Amino acid sequence: MLFEDIKKDEEQYLMHTYGRFSAAIVSGKGAVAKDVEGREYIDFTSGIGVNSLGYCDDGWVKAVSQQAASIQHISNLYYSPLQTQVAKKLCQLTGFDKVFLCNSGAEANECAIKIARKYSFDKFGEGRQKIVTLVNSFHGRTVTTLAATGQDSFHNFFFPFTEGFDYAQANNIDDMKAKLDDSVCAVFMELIQGEGGVMPLDEEYVSAVEKLCREKDILLMIDEVQTGMARTGEIYCYQGYNIEPDVITSAKGLGGGVPIGACLCSKKLAGVMTPGSHGTTFGGNPIACAAANEVLSRVTTPEFLSEVKEKGSYIRSKLEKMTGVKEVRGRGMMIGIVTEKDNAKEIAAKCVENGLLILTAKTLLRLLPPLNITYEEIDKGLAILAETMQQ
């Protein structure tokens, strides 16, 4: 098979929802991907923060393949020890009380939104259904999570969107205060806006928002779909902000490359979801849970987490000295790069030609390398990036 044939079939048979780089990736090991024609690439993307342990990690492959050979799916009409293992680990690692398992970030966020509205309805009755998110946020592609996304460019074509969202300016506590009227049941935000351009929130702002929420029994919900699962050097990013959210959502890196999402809630919310109030056919699928169990047991140890922080600092310090780099943002191995020429898209495309897979976010270059990438692979990738920036 040749790349050009694949490209032709893609154009003919797939809906054109994605702009793609010129490579068809078919295999990989660690942080090295291989395309259909045998060319190798250093991977700074981990499939948009998904392959936490890189490509085809031995332990992960074993967990997934053994599970596939044992039982691949049972419905949620029966008990599953794999589901309970994942939920128990997530609760024990975070202090949250209950978990709902689903298949994606958007679905985890839908669950959070439903919990917020039902908690408020059960306790206060109708009229307190509004959820405040942040301007420039990203929460998913379903009609409701698009509505939750605080970017006008996402609020088009698919009318009518779900009602009941309002958008506050990030890092502006006065604006948040003004938006938290009696119709609000929850604040929902990313601590580092990923798709929005790797924009971290200020710690003082986040603490102040938490305080406002507590005063009014407004739920504080954190979208950890991108920032979670050790990406920032904490198991979940909120742990580095010293807050106690009521709800967090997780997906992307949780399964290390298979689709799984989770919504975690605190003890106060443990009874909100009741039989019949929520569900999903594939949620808690055994193969997905076997993968998540492996990821959870590997990336959450103190040694692993401090390595993520060290590698993140190493990458950032090298980037800060690189010609063509104007600013470096982010935490751990979630890194955004403002380039001097503001030409991230162009650089990312050229990097592919030069053997490096790299992401963009808005006008930034974005790095989400596999969490277990080696220093040698980091150096190789950064050398390609430096060279590409000078071309």
Ligand X SMILES: *Cc1c(COP(=O)(O)O)cnc(C)c1O
Instruction: Summarize as ranges the residues that interact with ligand X (CB under 6 A).
Output: 104-106, 109, 138-140, 190, 194-195, 223, 225-226, 251-252
CB of 251 to ligand X, least distance (A): 5
CB of 209 to ligand X, least distance (A): 17
Q: Which is nearer to ligand X, 368 or 389 (CB)?
A: 368
Omega prior to 200 cis, within 30 of 0: no
CB of 182 to ligand X, least distance (A): 28
Q: Which is nearer to ligand X, 251 or 385 (CB)?
A: 251
CB of 192 to ligand X, least distance (A): 9
What lies within 8 Å, CB to CB, of 29 at 6+ separation is: 54, 55, 56
Distance CA 8, CA 86 (A): 41
Q: Which is nearer to ligand X, 104 or 232 (CB)?
A: 104
Q: Which is nearer to ligand X, 146 or 357 (CB)?
A: 146
CB of 223 to ligand X, least distance (A): 5
Q: Which is nearer to ligand X, 142 or 171 (CB)?
A: 142
CB of 191 to ligand X, least distance (A): 10
CB of 199 to ligand X, least distance (A): 12
Distance CA 265, CA 100 (A): 9
Q: Which is nearer to ligand X, 121 or 161 (CB)?
A: 161
Distance CA 185, CA 127 (A): 9
Residue nearest to ligand X (CB): 105
What distances in angstroms separate CA 140 from CA 106, 147, 205, one per listed residue? 5, 9, 24
Q: Which is nearer to ligand X, 335 or 384 (CB)?
A: 335
